[in-house]
Amino acid sequence: MPRPSDTKQRIQEVARELFARQGVQRTSLQEIADRLGITKPALYYHFSSREELVRSIVQPIIDEEEAFLMGQEALGEAEPRALLEGYFDFHYRHRRDIVLMLSELTTLADLGLIDLVLNWRGRLVKLLYGPEPTLEQATRAVIAFGGLQDCTIQFADVPKDELRRVAVDGACAALGIEPQRETRRRA
Amino acid sequence: MPRPSDTKQRIQEVARELFARQGVQRTSLQEIADRLGITKPALYYHFSSREELVRSIVQPIIDEEEAFLMGQEALGEAEPRALLEGYFDFHYRHRRDIVLMLSELTTLADLGLIDLVLNWRGRLVKLLYGPEPTLEQATRAVIAFGGLQDCTIQFADVPKDELRRVAVDGACAALGIEPQRETRRRA
DNA sequence: CTATGCTTACCTATCGTTAAGTAAGGAGCC
DNA sequence: GGCTCCTTACTTAACGATAGGTAAGCATAG
């Protein structure tokens, strides 16, 4: 029964699940097709190559993180807690795909996206401490941002708002910032 | 030229490098053999399967971390800074293999080692805060230990002692501990 | 002679990918 | 309504490449 089908999206859904569970490399097109009860070449009707399927899953998240960073950079030097909260929200929202990307750096390399992703940490540090941070500042930032990321992955079952509060508090502590309740600036 | 050869170790060295650079899955036995100027069946003379080669690289690190944890657990509740320093030292020493393991969780799953590895975080938290930590405590611990791990990977070019100082200070800050200079306990 | 440490040659399974064909359903004209 | 035409959404069949793995044999040092 032709005319609009949702097969393309269903392929992406199954692929995300299998990629996350057993890795991109270990997931064959055959396996994805079998899950959906279609044939392997049917995938090629919707995606011109295996690489395009992988990219279609990864690229939107990359684009969104890139947009987040560019938005923050446009503001000049950031207010730390607001930056941490924005970072947490983004990573919490995409935690499933983030863990996929972190465990598939070689896949990102294949897609030519690895340099972009590896530069994110550096850009975050610069947002907090300017273009030439000290080693102390850089390590604190790595601990804070890495810690937020880890928390969104590790405590996937904790309600978002509760996790957000304790995780951002922890990141603030790592940075040596007194935790103000939620984002509120005073002149 | 028979009689003692170091081929087995040279295979492991090349495998570690290729596994780390391009991933375990993307590295074929053929490629490893080519690097060494030997043939693929020669690998099978030294390792009975591909899986055994992978395991021979990963297992020693797992065993050592396991030993470290069991040693700490035998002491009862740990002195935080000493625990953080021990954790840092271990991860700094094996940072190349650690990054390999972190980016190859699916490989660890194949080897049946994944549950062990994923439980490490929980055991570390218990070492700091006992068997039933609060969410606050658990997040702080994840940030601290994850941060130490990240630092050993991120700042691979920084001299060990300098990195150790700033990284452990950062982890202490995340835990809310005042940083005492180095480990020294007073009764 | 015997064990070690390989090589040459080969097998089978599976991978991503392509070519070619086809059933189902509008759209447009009469 | 019926006929043609095109698009959508697949299927069946097969391709070449490469993967992990094996069987059998040969050279060399002890």
Reported as a single tens digit per residue, the pLDDT across B81-135 is 999 999 999 999 999 999 999 999 999 999 999 999 999 999 999 999 999 999 9
* Per-residue pLDDT at B109: 94
What b-and-e string marks burial along A93-103, b requiring 16 or more CB atoms within 10 Å of the CB? ebbebbbbbbb
Contact between the CB of A4 and strand C at under 7 Å: no
Nearest nucleotide by C1' from A7 CA? D9
Nearest to A151 among B143, B151, B167 (CB): B143
Q: Which residues contact A4 (CB under 8 A, 6 or more apart)?
A: none
Q: What CATH architecture does domain A1-48 belong to?
A: Orthogonal Bundle (1.10)
Nearest nucleotide by C1' from A1 CA? C24
Reported as a single tens digit per residue, the pLDDT across A151-181 is 999 998 999 999 999 999 999 999 999 776 5
Residue A186 pLDDT class (50, 70, 90 cuts): very low
Q: What is the mean pLDDT of chain A?
A: 92
Interatomic CA–C1' length for residue A56 and nucleotide C26, angstroms = 29
Kindly list the domain boundaries of chain A, sorted by start residue: 1-48, 58-187
* Per-residue pLDDT at A182: 52
Reported as a single tens digit per residue, the pLDDT across B50-93 is 999 999 999 999 999 999 999 999 998 779 999 999 999 999 99
Instruction: Quickly count: other Cβ atoms within 10 Å of residue A184's Cβ.
Output: 9
Is A155 close to B174, i.e. CB distance below 8 A? no
* Per-residue pLDDT at A73: 95
Contact between the CB of A74 and strand C at under 7 Å: no
A128 touches chain B (CB under 8 A): no
Find which of B104, B121, B143 to mutate to test the A interface (most A CBs within 10 Å of its CB).
B143
Helix, strand, or coil here: B167?
helix
Reported as a single tens digit per residue, the pLDDT across A107-136 is 999 999 999 999 999 999 999 999 999 999
Residue B3 pLDDT class (50, 70, 90 cuts): low
Helix, strand, or coil here: A48?
coil
Interatomic CA–C1' length for residue B112 and nucleotide C7, angstroms = 34
Instruction: Give the pTM.
Output: 0.89
Q: Would you give the DSSP letter of residue B38?
A: -
- Chain A, window 50-89: residues with a beta carbon less than 8 angstroms from a chain B beta carbon: none
Is A155 close to B135, i.e. CB distance below 8 A? yes
Mean pLDDT of A32-53: 96
Contact between the CB of A31 and strand C at under 7 Å: yes
| Cα B65 from chain centroid (whole Å) | 7
Is B106 close to A136, i.e. CB distance below 8 A? no
Q: Can you tell me the distance from the alpha carbon of B76 to that of B127, in angstroms, rounded to the nearest whole number? A: 8
Dihedral over alpha carbons B110, B111, B113, B115 (to 10 degrees): 30
Residue corresponding to tokens 């998240």:
A61
* Per-residue pLDDT at A180: 67
B177 touches chain A (CB under 8 A): no
* Per-residue pLDDT at B178: 78
In this structure, are residues B78 and B86 in contact, taking their beta carbons and an 8 Å threshold?
no
- Chain A, window 87-116: residues with a beta carbon less than 8 angstroms from a chain B beta carbon: 102-106, 109
Contact between the CB of B28 and strand C at under 7 Å: no
Q: Which of the nucleotides in strand C have any atom less than 7 Å away from a protein CB atom? A: 3-10, 14-20, 23-26
Residue B185 pLDDT class (50, 70, 90 cuts): very low
Residue type, B7: T
Nearest chain B Cα distance for residue A98, angstroms: 13
Residue A77 pLDDT class (50, 70, 90 cuts): confident
Instruction: Spell out the alpha helix ranges (H) of chain A.
Output: 7-22, 29-36, 40-46, 50-74, 80-93, 95-102, 105-110, 114-129, 135-154, 160-175
Residue B187 pLDDT class (50, 70, 90 cuts): very low
Q: Which fold has domain B58-187?
A: Tetracycline Repressor; domain 2 (1.10.357)
Quick one: which of A60, A62, A7, A53 has its CA closest to A29?
A: A53
Residue A33 pLDDT class (50, 70, 90 cuts): very high
